[in-house]
Structure 1
């Protein structure tokens, strides 16, 4: 099948799968433009959904858009299409993040298609995980998944895990002391019982906050902005299984590779029966981000901290309709 034979309704189905990707505060900072004449599907960043205080260089925005790009590749493979991707195809247009042309599937697409069943089962879990360790073969498989996208996933030892958790607490303190950062988080969350009705198709609803932690935890507490009297308390795992996703360099192209690697790891983890969450707080503050790196491992630049384990899958968060994010050019 040539790219010109990919019709608009097929593209809409692919985009419908793409937008199940995670993004910072579930802002969904992506736009898709399909050019029927050339058969190119453009992935564009949406500056109106950027976090100007905590993501001023749009690194997290690139990661979220790239996670959607990986989902698009998975969906294309599952539909029997190959997807040829060009990153940052126009240097004069920084919001044009990728161009995708569909065609004959390649051999690697079978591995992508196998992840399709995890697309809508992957949710961020802000609940405690059990103490059951993640088997080494599963962790090795996740590291291999990151390598397939040109990135590296490392597993910090107990000492460095404690250092990262300390940085998470430092980042929470930074946000508490920064009114702009607090306002930004509050703008993308919705309160629980007693709050004014605010139906929306983005952001973090109260159902996805998870319980309040009775002690230190590696998950962001979105409920601080919208206290909910019905929200319970829980003790989170004392020694969480963290993983650091990194790249050698820290350019926009690296961020796009990292976002695809992130989603590949998350989908593989979901397919393996693991629950996952992401911890980006210390990466949002330049004075803390450098310290997240393991000094004993040559990782380069940490792009995301992941938490892996066994526990509740987490609640689904809303998604904008395809008609809102897809344009026919």
Structure 2
């Protein structure tokens, strides 16, 4: 097998494409022949030694991937050799093969292509957990999605629309705003043209007839957090999803008091570990929604696995709309 090996987590440039022994699965594991792997923001942080999970060195990055089961370990009964699966295991995806815990593998129904499957679990699980479980979103409510043209942002738009909500999507270019409208957003805000804090808050106020959004989905953080939270509706729910902008913001807690609003943490990874039955039911619902056409990953482009460093550079340039997916021949 071949894989991108991280022997020193000082950044993307230190990754090396190496030939490695093809491993055999131990009890509870499967060997997956990787067909496609998506690039997520944590995949950048982990090779910079900035992610909360720090795997022992050396490791192969690539948190999310899809492929074919090539071998099964002892005790694995729900998966078979030749079965198509998707997996989010945190590492291992940027190569030709990897070992995966069998319980983390999602069997793919017929007609679920590898590229979509490799871009599915992280973004849709995060957004479903955020909007359905944590925000208790109701039909007719308004959701403001920040960073709306990215992977989690596009998934949040689709899930909110599937639940009957009105969606305002905030993104940084007219092209990204057009993408958001094409997948269901009811209104868009180009925050380059409506910069934070004042112009952005005015745009949110105008888009909600002065009421403010009932739910704010924020994977961005940074300078957007406080002006977004100041715009929230009475009894609104502010979802803390991530900090793609870099700085972790501080919010004045008097705003929560004045608006009767909730600041709600979203950590799907721990939810899946602590509440596995609820998580499994959620994933079944998401797979059903995919089959019904309610959700479908927005694929920015596919690139050969050998071009991983170029893919990282594209993601770092903020050009990506939806998800980047690496594919093996």
Instruction: Please confirm whether the aligned pair reaches a TM-score higher than 0.5, indicating the same fold.
Output: no
Tell me the TM-score normalized by structure 1. Answer: 0.29
Q: When you count strand as a share of all residues, which structure comes out higher? A: 2
Tell me the TM-score normalized by structure 2. Answer: 0.29
